[in-house]
Structure 1
């Protein structure tokens, strides 16, 4: 019975995580129609690095759920970054982010593969990095926080992304706790908290579309 529960829960995590990654399609459609504008590319880069690092950790720990989720995620984020670059007016800025991201991405992968000979220590180090990058990913929609406060609008933050991040965090907290893997559970606890913070921003500074809908309903 317990094995069935864990199996079902693992697939719930996979489905929600994939759905979370697909939210980027909504963001990219806006970019294609209106250009990148004030939309930050940082979430795309953060999620790409996260997917690659978690993929490495998944292979080290032989956790198929983590492997499946992050293969799909890495491919999608690469596509999103490509679309952002094509429609961005600040291509030099995106190229700098690509260079920084590649250094951040490959440094720990090379180190844990070729320089850290103790596999247990390498796994712990990779897991610690994954915790850090996951927290960054959950916080990445806040990259445009100054714009949100200045304009008093959450137009530059994707509500579907924040909502799916929250659901994703909750599912992985439960799964990580069930299989007793703190590397999966801990960063997603932070994700739940950051999700609540982002929901608070949408309450304080609703998007212009929401304000328009509210005003129309009052007429």
Structure 2
């Protein structure tokens, strides 16, 4: 790993910039889901988790940025929160069952954020930075892997169309770019989280191509008996 890090050192600035730009672009991928919702005229078969989860993760990392006093992290996450709030409003407008499709998952995510922010006030200041960062990383990975909850059903139906393609593609590119940056920095914490994130996104991307939603068996034509 060290030899790879040394080989990539001359490209450190470039890789960091690309990773940052891709992360910002990833925030706009929710617009494609909104466009799909608008075309369908409803939120049927489209989960609100990417949006409400995006708000939760944004607020969680915003607190982490405040803890580290990192202006770049604060700016990026304020931007992410604003965009995901807009997506949430859009989703709510088109939701048929507003409680189950949107308000219930939103309530759960707000509760999680409240617990996290409360934990920050309770934990030992010398331990909070690492422990909170670890907790938020786990939540981020759970959000990335959320579409895989229905993996068994996707394989049985040969249909992975419920996985948002643009969001997954951007997630794959973002985690890979930050993985390269982690290798350059030799940052094990960043390395582990992006290896797991890249694998989760990569599996989902593979499922989209293997089961694009066109693998349903053709209808059986029953012959009428005379």
Q: 2:126 aligns with which of 98, 120, 144?
A: 120
- Deviation string for 1:5-46 (max 9, x for gaps)? 544433222210111121110001111221100111112222
Question: Which of 106, 115, 118 is residue 110 of structure 1 equivalent to?
Answer: 118
Following superposition, the deviation at residue 87 of structure 1 comes to 0.5
Structure 1, unmatched stretches of 5+, are 209-219
RMSD value, Cα? 2.5
| Contact kept in structure 1, 2:56 and 2:109, CA below 8 Å | yes
Query: Residue 153 of structure 1: SS of its match in structure 2?
Result: coil
Corresponding pairs, count: 206
Q: Partners in 1 of 2:177 and 2:147 — Cα distance?
A: 20
**Runs of 4+ deviating beyond 6 Å:** none
**Hey, what's the Cα distance between the residues in 1 that align with 2:65 and 2:183?**
17
Query: Considering only CA atoms, is the larger Rg found in Structure 1 or Structure 2?
Result: 2
Give the secondary-structure state (helix, strand or coil) at the position aligned to 2:45.
coil
Provide the C-alpha distance between the structure 2 equivalents of 1:80 and 1:146, rounded to a whole number of angstroms.
28
Q: Deviations over 1:111-130 (max 9, x none)?
A: 21x222x3231111210112
Give the CA deviation at 1:132: 0.4
Distance 1:75 1:4 in 2: 35
CA distance in 2: counterparts of 1:180 and 1:52, whole angstroms: 27
| Partners of 2:46 and 2:153 in 1: CA distance | 10
Instruction: Name the structure where helix makes up a greater proportion of residues.
Output: 1
TM-score normalised to structure 2 length: 0.80
Task: Say if 2:9 and 2:184, in contact at 8 Å, map to a contact too.
Answer: no
